[in-house]
Structure 1
Amino acid sequence: MRLHVITDDRHSQEELAAKIISIKDIVDFIHIRERSKNVSDISDLISRLLIGGVDKRKLIINDRVDIALFYNIHRVQLPSHSFSVKCVRSRFPHLKIGKSVHSVQEAVQAEKEGADYVLFGHIFETDSKKGRTGRGIGSLADVKAAVHIPVIAIGGITEKRLPEVQTANPDGIAVMSGIISSDCPAEAAARFACYVKGDSYEKAL
């Protein structure tokens, strides 16, 4: 499984950059999902990351295709309210495109339109979607069985829940608060990586 980390839109550019730089060699992908920040703020964040040695190939820009293109970042994540995969694929065929989906039908449609992978959730109830029941492991397994592209699970995934998530055989997991909101993101990321990649804690660090 691949370990994706998603930013939580709760930190300044400086704070967030420091957190991301601390995990850059531990995780597989880092989604920049800062909905309250403007173009200038996100540009400042990306500049800090690149100066700090973050591999551009690990960065995934959520929604803002324009920012990805400006910085020559080749990975984008399209939320449900964003452009269609088909539209982005037709104009920018070089991009790696992920699509956020919430059902088997949406996942199948994303695959038909040319998505490289889907991000499915939320699996469990999470603070970012309080009061909304998670879709569960069964739904994750259904999506995994319905498409041929990678399926990344997201939503309320904690270290304790990883064995349960793995029963659905996702291609990766995405974690937000469990890593980015941690007092020590590197240690939290290393613990997730130990399970996801099967490495020792020391090797992950």
Structure 2
Amino acid sequence: MENNLNDIKDIDYSLYLVTDRKVLGNRDLCKSIKEAIQGGVSLVQLREKDLGTNEFYKLAKKIKKITDEHDVPLIINDRIDIALAVDADGVHVGPDDLPISVARNILGPNKIVGASTCNIEEALEAQKQGATYLGVGAIFPTATKSNTDDVSIEDLACIKKAVNIPIVGIGGINEKNASKVMTAKVEGIAVVSAILGKSDIKNAANQLYEIIRSSNR
């Protein structure tokens, strides 16, 4: 049940921000996301594993207002119920979440369903089940997520060639190594601390934006 990509708007995956409030410290998440978007972030994933449903819903509503104002898609990590409740643009699911095919059936053809993969077999299966895009990694060591599989730049390039849906590299990507990831001809990079962990969030996002833009020339 491969997804009909013509039913989904043209998404810019180039600079994909995944949230983590622990990285922010005492700084406000909403304000930080707005600054990141102003710096060039093209897509936001709200990832809140430790929040209760009501808190997550209220936060998602606030973030959705910001992303709507800037015409940036909002993806909800794992929680399809929250995505539906706030009319987010889609969800991102991992191997321990609901199957991609189930998420696709619930959300329908016009929502984004992203999936985490780390090899060609998983990537092909995710595409078959209806994934809109794939987050592939971890490309480099990362402190924001444990128990990740290692994926080399060469592996990333092979996965990119094997599927016909967009690929986003994820895992330990920052301003020092982002250009290496883009050599795999992927559609973008997903980052957490490389933006939210910096003192000047807008500038950090803009720096990555410029690196990606230069890589695509």
Instruction: Note whether the superposition's TM-score is higher than 0.5.
Output: yes
Structure 1 counterpart of 2:18: 6
Q: SS state of the match for residue 159, structure 1? A: coil
Q: Is 1:32 the counterpart of 2:19 in the alignment?
A: no
Q: Structure 1 residue 117 and structure 2 residue 133: aligned?
A: yes
Give CA-to-partner distance per residue, 1:45-87, whole Å, 9 cap, x none: 2233345x33275211000010010011121111111111111
Q: What's the % identity of the aligned pairs?
A: 31
Q: What TM-score does the superposition give when structure 1 sets the normalisation length?
A: 0.87
CA distance in 2, matches of 1:29, 1:67: 17
Mean Cα deviation higher: 76-85 or 9-18: 9-18
Instruction: Tell me, in whole angstroms, the C-alpha distance in 2 between the residues paired with 1:23 and 1:89.
Output: 29
> Aligned pair 1:86/2:98, yes or no?
no
Question: What SS does the aligned partner of 2:116 have?
Answer: strand
Q: Are the equivalent residues in 2 in contact too, given 1:85–1:114 (CA < 8 A)?
A: yes
What SS does structure 1 have at the residue aligned with 2:67? coil
Aligned equivalent of 1:203: none
CA contact (8 A) 1:13 1:44 kept: no
Q: Bigger shift: 28-37 or 128-137?
A: 128-137
User: Equivalent residue of 1:34, what SS?
Assistant: coil
Q: What's the CA shift for 1:132?
A: 6.5
Structure 1 CA distance, aligned partners of 2:188 and 2:46? 17
Alpha-carbon contact 2:75-2:92 (below 8 Å) kept: yes
Number of equivalenced pairs: 198
What amino acid maps onto 2:167 in structure 1? V
Offset, 1:160:
1.4
2:30 partner letter: A
Q: Please give the per-residue CA displacement for 1:105-161, whole angstroms capped at 9, x wherever unaligned.
A: 110000011111100000011123569673211111111111111110000111111
Q: Distance in 2 between matches of 1:184 and 1:163?
A: 21
Q: CA RMSD in A?
A: 2.3
Contact 1:63 1:82 in 2 (8 A): yes
| Structure 1 gaps, min length 5 | 200-205
Indicate whether 1:167 and 2:183 are aligned. yes
- CA contact under 8 A between 1:9 and 1:33: conserved in structure 2? no
Once residues 14 and 47 of structure 1 are traced to their aligned partners in structure 2, the CA distance between those partners, rounded to angstroms, is 19
Q: 4+ residue stretches of structure 1 with deviation over 6 A?
A: 130-133
Aligned: 1:61 with 2:76: yes
Aligned 8 A contact 2:48 2:56 in 1: yes
1:140 aligns with 2:156: yes
CA distance in 1, matches of 2:148, 2:83: 31
Structure 1's 13 and 82: CA in aligned 2 closer, same or farther, altered over 3 A?
A: farther
1:30, distance to aligned residue in structure 2 (A): 0.7
Q: Deviations over 1:6-37 (max 9, x none)?
A: 01241589711111121223211011011111
Seen in structure 2, the aligned counterparts of structure 1 residues 17 and 107 have a Cα distance that, compared at 3 Å, is: same
